[in-house]
Structure 1
Amino acid sequence: MKHLFFKQRHNQLALFALWLLVVFTFDSCALSYKFNGSSIDYSKIKTITISDFPNNAPLVYPPLAQNFNIALQNYFAQYTRLQPVSRNGDLQISGEITGYDLTPLAIQTSGLAGETRLTLTVKVHFVNTKNEKDNFDSSFSSSQTFSSNLMLNQVQDQLVSEMIKEIVENIYNQTVAKW
């Protein structure tokens, strides 16, 4: 009986030792990996200037420019360590909102549109003062579709928020993430 007790105890100790070995092995091999999507060399690039984007679209939604500007600045503040400066940043982003358009879609047999597409277009000028090969001028667009049974003012805030988010992410990806 005593022999059985020591054998069980020995097996428990062996399992515990094996468990400790596995834990310490994985703990010592743990990778510290933080993915923020940027490929910024912070030893060279330290500052960013993001100018306000005026709304020059023919169809004007009054809060659009302010919402876009805040979203763009907040995204770079959240996902980079770049210091925002009002002028002459190592990275410089400027541009304008050039389009805010409604397009009827899915014309029904009655001749009326079943859906409407709202499209937001932003023109961006990007300057990297440390690497001129990265400079570009480009337009970014995003569209959202909604039922024509709804009035634009019923869905506009939500749709604009989604389009701004997509465009800001695309600007980030093309400027600092290099995707």
Structure 2
Amino acid sequence: MKKHIFYILLILSFQSCGFYSFTGVNTTAETYQVNFFQNNAPIIEPGLDRDFTLALQDLILNQTNLDLVKTGGDLVYEGEIVEYRISPMSATAEQTAAQNRLSIGVMVRYFNTDDPEKDFERRFSFFYDFPATTQVQAIKEEAYQVIFERITQDIVNATLADW
């Protein structure tokens, strides 16, 4: 009998927490929408826009129990890729680049239909350093994975985590 009471109290305590998940997401929203992130950076890398849009959709889908919809989402993410840049980071004794940095920046507009006070427009960016002797095409897949993982997690933290 005590065991049953314990389980009932445990269930009730989780229900009283409201819409909280163990990933830190705290929202009453049920759906989200990620509009296509157009690549408006000075350097256009083919497929970057599609890959980023899918990475953001997948991260939210995997870390929350929100449903992805094409239109009419409770939470709406939209924006554009505004930076794609490769720049030298460190030099050798011969004054040539020893290391390069790939930087990607994304402007995000976030709309919360349940709580418009949480709406914002903000820039998120991250980078990946690689040896200057390596071509970008050789590291592109790994670099995108590292950069997208960081940027998309920053976006989710800014929009869904009440920390």
Residue equivalent to 1:124: 108
1:70-121 Cα shifts (integer Å, max 9, x gaps): 1111111112222222222111110011111011111222121110011010
Spell out the pairing of 1:33-112 with structure 2 (5 A cutoff): 35-41=22-28, 45-112=29-96
CA distance in 2, matches of 1:119, 1:178: 28
- Residue 114 of structure 1 pairs with residue 101 of structure 2: no
Which residue identity is paired with 1:40? T
Q: How much has 1:157 moved relative to structure 2?
A: 1.4
CA distance in 2, matches of 1:66, 1:163: 15
Q: How much has 1:35 moved relative to structure 2?
A: 1.5
State the aligned residue count. Answer: 149
Q: How much has 1:63 moved relative to structure 2?
A: 2.1
SS across alignment from 1:76: helix
Residue equivalent to 2:140: 156
SS across alignment from 1:143: strand
CA distance in 2, matches of 1:126, 1:83: 17
- Residue 167 of structure 1 pairs with residue 151 of structure 2: yes
The structure with more helix, counted as a fraction of residues: 1
Q: How much has 1:64 moved relative to structure 2?
A: 1.2
Larger-gyration structure (1/2): 1
The structure with more strand, counted as a fraction of residues: 2
Q: How much has 1:150 moved relative to structure 2?
A: 1.1
CA distance in 1, matches of 2:131, 2:162: 36
Structure 2: stretches of 5+ with no match in the other structure: 15-20
Identity of aligned residues (%): 29
CA distance in 2, matches of 1:111, 1:96: 35
CA distance in 1, matches of 2:117, 2:162: 12
CA distance in 1, matches of 2:133, 2:110: 40
Q: Which runs of 4+ in 1 moved over 4 A?
A: 31-34
CA distance in 2, matches of 1:63, 1:117: 20
Which residue identity is paired with 1:121? G
Segment of structure 1 superposing worse, 135-144 or 146-155: 146-155
Structure 1: stretches of 5+ with no match in the other structure: 1-23
